[in-house]
């Protein structure tokens, strides 16, 4: 288990649980948190024992309300020079795309457990995750345009994940929607009472962690990389990937376990 002031990372039974840990600030993303998330993704990618990641926010009031206006936004817009190592690193290494898992070499699934406010950069972060469980108190929005800002990630990603007209309404008005509306447009998978959100997210994570890790990761990779391809080209990429997985030891173990009516012991090879 690794613990940081603004991000807590725990590993258990093949699941890495990442907690945005600034409940008093509605889990606003500080430079420390951004650096911690980037480092966590690297660590998770290199750890074969981790099969799936689960991200949540501390407390019940917010998943995250986005970037910290006092410590993160000023260095990004150039109105303030970096004052510590965290701010300097965010600026020097361009960490926001990495925090949102763009162009990462691994494709481990990421589940998000969302309670309360999920706004701006918090909303944008959620778009980089694969499966989302929200509380019935959750509120979603991209209010940047109301402040004269352009939202990052969202104009590119959101119209690919929910109906175009609803995506554009959210992006261009900056208005908020509740959890039920998010469910109706397909932004989240489940809406549950606050007390059941982590339970459901962990249930899904545990189910994924029992599956063949190479097959899971390759399936995610193909789903991401074939978006926008001609269907004929996508099928060819998919078939090559399936052939590659078919030759792994994990497939042999999975078939043998099925025949023996036992849980498979996948070795990630």
Token pair for residue 69?
Answer: 């206006």
Per-residue b or e along 65-79, where b marks 16 or more CB atoms closer than 10 Å to that residue's CB: bbbbeebbbbbeeee
**Nearest Cα to 213, choosing from 172, 245, 242, 247?**
245
Q: What is the Cα–Cα distance from 157 to 166, expressed in whole angstroms?
A: 13
Helix (H) or strand (E) holding 220: helix 213-225
Active site residue 169: no
From the list 32, 83, 93, 144, the catalytic residue is 144
Q: Are 164 and 185 in contact (CB under 8 A)?
A: no
Token pair for residue 240?
Answer: 């090559």
Token pair for residue 45?
Answer: 């990618």
Decide: helix, strand or coil at residue 112. Answer: strand
Active site residue 85: no
Q: What is the Cα–Cα distance from 26 to 184, expressed in whole angstroms?
A: 25
Helix (H) or strand (E) holding 182: helix 179-184
Q: Are 140 and 161 in contact (CB under 8 A)?
A: no
Q: CA angle at residue 200 from 20 to 108, to 5 degrees? A: 60
Q: What is the Cα–Cα distance from 14 to 43, expressed in whole angstroms?
A: 13
From the list 10, 85, 124, 244, the catalytic residue is 124
Q: What is the Cα–Cα distance from 77 to 66, expressed in whole angstroms?
A: 15
Q: What is the Cα–Cα distance from 145 to 65, expressed in whole angstroms?
A: 15
Catalytic residues: 124, 144
């Amino acid at each position: 288990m690794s613990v940081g002031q603004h991000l807590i990372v725990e590993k258990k039974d093949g699941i890495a649980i990442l907690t945005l840990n600034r409940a008093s600030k509605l889990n606003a993303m500080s430079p420390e948190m951004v650096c911690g998330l980037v480092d966590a993704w690297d660590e998770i990618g290199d750890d074969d024992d981790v099969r799936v990641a689960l991200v949540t926010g501390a407390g019940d009031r917010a998943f995250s309300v986005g970037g910290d206006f006092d410590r993160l936004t000023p260095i990004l817009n150039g109105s303030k020079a970096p004052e510590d190592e965290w701010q300097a690193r965010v600026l020097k290494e361009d960490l926001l795309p990495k925090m949102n898992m763009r162009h990462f070499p691994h494709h481990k699934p990421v589940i998000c457990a969302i309670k309360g406010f999920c706004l701006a950069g918090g909303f944008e972060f959620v778009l980089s995750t694969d499966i989302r469980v929200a509380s019935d108190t959750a509120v979603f929005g991209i209010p940047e345009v109301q402040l004269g800002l352009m939202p990052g990630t969202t104009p590119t990603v959101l119209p690919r994940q929910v109906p175009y007209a609803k995506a554009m309404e959210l992006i261009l008005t900056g208005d908020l929607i509740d959890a039920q509306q998010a469910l109706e447009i397909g932004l989240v998978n489940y809406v549950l009472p606050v007390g059941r959100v982590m339970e459901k997210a962990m249930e899904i994570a545990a189910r994924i962690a029992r599956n063949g890790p190479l097959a899971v990761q390759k399936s995610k990779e193909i789903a991401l990389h074939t978006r926008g391809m001609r269907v004929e080209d996508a099928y060819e990429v998919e078939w090559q990937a399936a052939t590659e997985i078919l030759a792994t030891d994990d497939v042999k173990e999975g078939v043998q376990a099925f025949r023996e009516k036992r849980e498979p012991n996948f070795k990630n090879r």
